[in-house]
Amino acid sequence: METQKIRKVVIAGGGTAGWITAAALSRLLGPLLEVTLVESDDIGTVGVGEATIPTHRTFHHLMGIDERDFMRATKATFKLGIAFENWGGVGDRYIHSFGQVGKPSWMGEFYHIWMRARERGIGEHLDAYCLELQAAEAERFYTSEKSGLNFAYHLDASLYARFLRSFSEKKGVKRVEGLIEQVEQDGETGFLTALKLKSGERIEGDFFIDCTGFRGLLIEQTLKTGYEDWTNWLPTDSALAVQTKSVGPAIPYTRAIAHHAGWQWRIPLQHRVGNGLVFCSENMTPDEAHAYLMSHVEGEALTEPRLIRYKTGRRKKVWNRNCVALGLSSGFVEPLESTSIHLIQVGATRLVQQFPFAGVTEAQANHYNAQADRELEKIRDFIVLHYKLTERDDSDFWRARRDMEIPESLAQRIALFRDGGLVYQASDDLFRVDSWLQVMMGQRLAPARYHHMGHLMTDEQLKTALGGLQAGIARAVSQMPSHQEFIDRYCAAPETV
């Protein structure tokens, strides 16, 4: 057997990306690798990504992380979805939940039956047939080994990085404090060989992971990988983030509230609320954004609003030579659907699956890059969908979003649903049929036709099926405690008990 060539892994940068990667490598490949993470307390992290999606639970299962321990340590709450306000039009509201809408069959999705029923004057709004959505609206929550709820978390990103640091160091990860002053390369291959710190210390490695944030110290500043700009589809380029005191019980969903030049988030944690304003600098100045945000938060501000500048897009390669970029160094798609932490986790676990123990090959790097590209493109399309389907005509920003050209891949999806009621999830799609359906219907994209599977049922059968489903969901929700009550008894952080 070939001698292992790659053993020393060096992670440049900490924060959420660095410590997720360190946790994955040390937990899953521990005895095979020597993992060193270099970070500096003098360099701040963006750290505003406080909402997750249900894949987070899968990652924690792989890590063997106890849910209650994690939630107490990060002052987390539960998340059943996202409420979108003012997106289709001013005054509109819908929830993109993590749940399944109705009960599909092999022939087709539930909503085809529902559309037939509505034609016949039978049934309620589509929302009535989704357990997670109804629980979110009622602000109720319950989970156990037998619970069928599909959920994610709201968490404190800084506390999460600290939690994973402790986890990783117990698994053997070595942390080095210091500022990276120089990245050394092999003169012939261009492969990275060492990080030289301001202190003079050299950290040698066989394989490097860039978690240095937007600056991309390894992947871009050193390897000159290049960047693919997506601002023509996603033109927001700035965000202000501020934390406020809670003014009421924590709700089990994120709020995404559109304004005239972007949108605002509200994320409830156990000890505070995370707030932010995403905006396009062509339509709103930072001073205007500051004033707008502070006039649209609830509760006393705990921090000063912090401005973050970004450019939506991706590196042309996330794996270049012996370096993989994860987190913000790999690219950025705005946080509208809370995918940032997921992309770090899936990038790290994919690296575990494809780790180049015997040495880097071009074919392997190309394969990793192709997978990352396809997944990110699908996520990009899903986020662009929210903007394209607007009917708002009240500002230059929204008129431009409504009228913009969109990727052909997204145009095809919209046409399939608009013309024939077809929604699908491809093998490399992160978002399920129910997610696409809830956003498209929530922003009033109604199909002109649908599958006639519902025509096989009599009116009485339709009434029985829909009525039974709705009653079962209503009964299940009524038996749940409030979200805040469940948090208090299940996973309350010590300071918030």
Tens of pLDDT along the chain (497 residues)? 467 899 999 999 999 999 999 999 999 999 999 999 999 987 665 556 589 999 999 999 999 999 999 999 999 999 999 999 999 999 999 999 999 999 989 999 999 999 999 999 999 999 999 999 999 999 999 998 777 899 999 999 999 999 999 999 999 999 999 999 999 999 999 999 999 999 999 999 999 999 999 999 999 999 999 999 999 999 999 999 999 999 999 999 999 999 999 999 999 999 999 999 999 999 999 999 999 999 999 999 999 999 999 999 999 999 999 999 999 999 999 999 999 999 999 999 999 999 999 999 999 999 999 999 999 999 999 999 999 999 999 999 999 999 999 999 999 999 999 999 999 998 889 999 999 999 999 999 999 999 999 999 999 999 999 999 999 999 999 999 999 999 999 999 987 54
Any idea what DSSP says for residue 456?
G
What's residue 4's pLDDT?
87
Q: Is-contact 345 56, C-beta < 8 A?
A: yes
Q: Which residues are catalytic?
A: 79
Gap between the terminal Cα atoms of the chain: 56
Using CA atoms, how far apart are residues 360 and 191, in angstroms rounded to an integer?
10
What's residue 41's pLDDT?
85
Alpha carbon 185 to chain centroid distance?
Answer: 34
What's residue 410's pLDDT?
98
Phi/psi of residue 273, nearest 5 degrees: -120, 130
User: In degrees, to the nearest 5, what angle opens at C-alpha 271 toward C-alphas 266 and 277?
Assistant: 20
Domain ranges for the chain: 8-50+156-232+312-360, 101-148+394-478, 238-309
Give residues with Cβ within 8 angstroms of 241, minimum separation 6. 48, 274, 275, 276, 305, 306, 308
Using CA atoms, how far apart are residues 267 and 15, in angstroms rounded to an integer?
19
Using CA atoms, how far apart are residues 59 and 318, in angstroms rounded to an integer?
21
Any idea what DSSP says for residue 482?
B
* Model pTM score: 0.96
Residues in the chain: 497
Q: Token pair 């939506």 is at which residue?
A: 312
What's residue 497's pLDDT?
46
Q: Does domain 8-50+156-232+312-360 have CATH number 3.30.2450.30?
A: no
What's residue 48's pLDDT?
60
